[in-house]
Amino acid sequence: MRQAHTVAQVRAAEEQAIAAVGDEALMQRAATGLAVAVADELRRRRGHTYGTRVLLLVGAGNNGGDALFAGAWLARHGVAVRALPLAEHPHAPGLAALLAAGGRAVDLPGAVGFDADLLVDGIVGIGGSPGLRPDAQQAVEALAGVPVVAVDLPSGVAVDTGETPEPHVQAEVTVTFGTHKVATLVDPAAAACGEVRLVDIGLVLPDADVEALEAADVATLLPVPGRASHKYTRGVVGVRAGSRAYPGAALLCVAGAASGMAGMVRYVGPDEVDSRVRQRFPEVVGAGRVQAWAVGSGGDDEAAAALAAALGDDVPVVVDADALRHLHHRRGPSGLVLTPHAGELAALLGEPRGEVEGAPLRHARDAARRWGAVVLLKGPRTLVADPGGRVRVNSTGTPWLATAGAGDVLTGLVGALLASGLDPFDAASVGAWLHGAAASRAGRGGPLVASDVAHALPEIVGALASEV
C-alpha cells in the first residue's frame, strides 16, 4: 500500500527521527537519495553524468538544504553544479558543502547562461504555502524548457490537498522523502510531479487517510472462490442499466458484471434490451434475488425507476450516470457506491465542473459525507472516498481509457465485487484498480474500446489470484 501523509504527520515523524539520529543524518539520507535520482535522470537523458550541468534553485528552508547537499554530491562525481539562491540566507551548511565540492552560486542571468541539462527545484517543500514568490516565479519562467527534478514536491502546490490554486513548478521527476504526500498522489498536484520516486529516510509513520492500492493489496482483497463455493455463495449481481435509447450501455455494464467476480448475473430492463443482453450473454438470467445492484449506466429516462427499484431491495447498490440525478435521499453509509465523473459530481453538488476538477479530493470527500456513500470520482487518477474521510487513489489505467462505455463496464464490475461480499470502499477501489489494469493490458500502450476492457478483466484477475 502506498500511503500519503499530511505535513503534520511528517513533521511529527521527523521529530522522532531527529531525536534518534540527529537532523544532519536525516538530511544526508534525503540529499543522497535525491542526488542518486538526479544522476539517474542525467544518465537517462544524456547517457552519462560526467560533465553534465545541473542548476539548483534554492529557497530559504531545508528543501533548499537538500538541493545543496545533493549538488555537493553531484559536484564530487564530476557534474558541473550551479546554485541560484532565491532567499537571502539559503541553508548555510548546504551552501558551504556545495562550494567546497567545487560548485558555485550564480545570479539569474548567470543561471540562464549556464545552459543546464537539469534543474533541481529546491525552492520549497512541505514548509511552503501554495504559489511562488516573485523572484522564484521569475526564475522558473526564465528557465522554462529545462527539465526539472523536484525536491520532495514541485514547489508551489498545496501539499495537503493536492490542489494547485497558484503558479507552481512542473516537474519531470519528483523525489519525495519518507512517505508520499497528498500532493504526490492526488491531482492536479500529482500531475505536476511527473514520475514520483520515494526515498526511504527511516520515518515511522501512522496510518494515513489517503492511500493507493498496489497489486499485492488487490490480490489480498480479491474475492477468490474456495472449493466449497457455489454460484449463490459467490454472490448474485443484478444489473438495471441501459435503455431503449442506449442498449449498448446494458451490454457493457453486464460485461463488467459478468467478468467472473460474482457467481451469477441477473439483468432487468426493457424487453428489447433484455433480449439483446441474453443473446450476447447466455449465462445471464432474469429478475430474482440479488446481493447487489448496478444501476444507471445509459439509463436515460428509465433510470429513476431503475434506481427506485434497486434501492427498494436491502442490498448494496452502485449508482452510475443517469441514476445519479435521481438520488434524492441518503442511505446508510454501508450500502451505496456512487460513480460520477467530474461533470456529474459537479451537477450533484451544484458547483461548476472546474471547481471539482481543481479540487477533486475535497469534492469527493464532501459528496461521500453528504450522501453517506462511497464516492468513486472518475478521472485520470480516480478517487474513492468514504463518508469518514478515507480515500484511495487509483494508480492503474491509461489515458486511452477515456472512451465511451468504459464507465459502464466499471459499474458492472463494482456491482459484482459488492455482490461477492466486499465492502463498498474495497469494492469501489479494487474495481477501479482492476478496470485500469485491464485497460492497460487490453490497449498495450495503444487505443482500446470499452468491451476490450471487460474482455481483459479475467486475465488480470487470474494473474493476481495466482500470486496469493
Ligand X SMILES: NC(=O)C1=CN([C@@H]2O[C@H](COP(=O)(O)OP(=O)(O)OC[C@H]3O[C@@H](n4cnc5c(N)ncnc54)[C@H](OP(=O)(O)O)[C@@H]3O)[C@@H](O)[C@H]2O)[C@@H](O)CC1
| Nearest residue to the partner ligand X, using Cβ | 125
User: How many angstroms separate the CA atoms of 465 and 204, rounded?
Assistant: 31
**Chosen residue from 117, 121, 274, 426 binding K ion by CB under 5 A:** 121
Which residues are CB-neighbours of 75 under 8 A, at least 6 positions away? 81, 98, 101, 102, 103
User: How many angstroms separate the CA atoms of 18 and 65, rounded?
Assistant: 16
**Chosen residue from 2, 41, 42, 61 binding ligand X by CB under 6 A:** 61
| 383-385/391-393 β-pairing | antiparallel
DSSP class per residue in 419-438? HTT--HHHHHHHHHHHHHHH
Q: Which stretch binds ligand X (CB under 6 A): 121-129, 142-150, 325-333, 456-464?
A: 121-129
394 is in an annotated binding site: no
C-beta of 91 vs 341, nearer to ligand X: 91
C-beta of 27 vs 182, nearer to ligand X: 27
382 is in an annotated binding site: yes
For residue 333, give Cα distances in angstroms to 213, 293, 371, 404, 427. 22, 16, 8, 30, 14
Annotate 92-110 with b (16+ C-beta within 10 A) or e (fewer). eebbebbbebebebbeeee
Q: Choose from ligand X, K ion, none: what does 14 bind? Cβ within 5-8 Å by kind.
A: ligand X
Q: Choose from ligand X, K ion, none: what does 421 bind? Cβ within 5-8 Å by kind.
A: none
Q: Choose from K ion, ligand X, none: what does 235 bind? Cβ within 5-8 Å by kind.
A: none
C-beta of 41 vs 274, nearer to K ion: 41
- Using alpha carbons, select from 126, 106, 144 the residue that is nearest to residue 64: 126
C-beta of 150 vs 448, nearer to ligand X: 150
Residue 34 corresponds to which cell in the numbers above? Answer: 535525491
C-beta of 142 vs 305, nearer to K ion: 142
User: How many angstroms separate the CA atoms of 315 and 304, rounded?
Assistant: 18
Q: Choose from ligand X, K ion, none: what does 345 bind? Cβ within 5-8 Å by kind.
A: none
Q: Map the footprint of ligand X across residues 64-83, applying CB under 6 A.
A: 64, 66
For residue 248, give Cα distances in angstroms to 207, 267, 404, 410. 42, 13, 10, 14
Q: Map the footprint of ligand X across residues 205-264, applying CB under 6 A.
A: none
The answer to whether the Cα torsion of 42, 46, 47, 52 is positive or negative is negative
130 is in an annotated binding site: yes
Annotate 204-236 with b (16+ C-beta within 10 A) or e (fewer). eeeebbbbbbeeebbbebbbeeeeeeeeeebbb
Q: Map the footprint of K ion across residues 360-419, applying CB under 5 A.
A: none
Which residues are CB-neighbours of 196 under 8 A, at least 6 positions away? 173, 174, 176, 180, 184, 190
For residue 123, give Cα distances in angstroms to 24, 138, 274, 279. 19, 12, 60, 61
Q: How far is the CB of 2 from ligand X (least distance, A)?
A: 17
User: How many angstroms separate the CA atoms of 377 and 432, rounded?
Assistant: 10
Q: Map the footprint of K ion across residues 147-166, applying CB under 5 A.
A: 150-151, 155
C-beta of 173 vs 437, nearer to K ion: 173
Q: How far is the CB of 419 from K ion (least distance, A)?
A: 46
Q: How far is the CB of 24 from ligand X (least distance, A)?
A: 10
Residue 446 corresponds to which cell in the numbers above? Answer: 495503444
Is 125 near ligand X (CB under 6 A)? yes
User: How many angstroms separate the CA atoms of 327 and 370, rounded?
Assistant: 11
**Chosen residue from 9, 119, 172, 177 binding ligand X by CB under 6 A:** 177
Residue 166 corresponds to which cell in the numbers above? Answer: 497558484
| Eight-class DSSP state of 21 | H
89 is in an annotated binding site: no
217 is in an annotated binding site: no
Is 30 near ligand X (CB under 6 A)? yes
**Chosen residue from 6, 9, 52, 63 binding ligand X by CB under 6 A:** 63
Q: Choose from ligand X, K ion, none: what does 121 bind? Cβ within 5-8 Å by kind.
A: K ion
C-beta of 59 vs 71, nearer to ligand X: 59
Binding residue numbers: 62-66, 121, 125-131, 152, 155, 249, 298, 341, 378-382, 407-408
Interface positions with K ion (CB under 5 A): 121, 150-151, 155
Binding residue numbers for (6S)-NADPHX: 62-66, 125-131, 152, 249, 298, 341, 408
Binding residue numbers for AMP: 378-382, 407
Interface positions with ligand X (CB under 6 A): 10, 14, 26-27, 30, 59-64, 66, 123-129, 131-133, 136, 151-152, 177-178, 201, 203
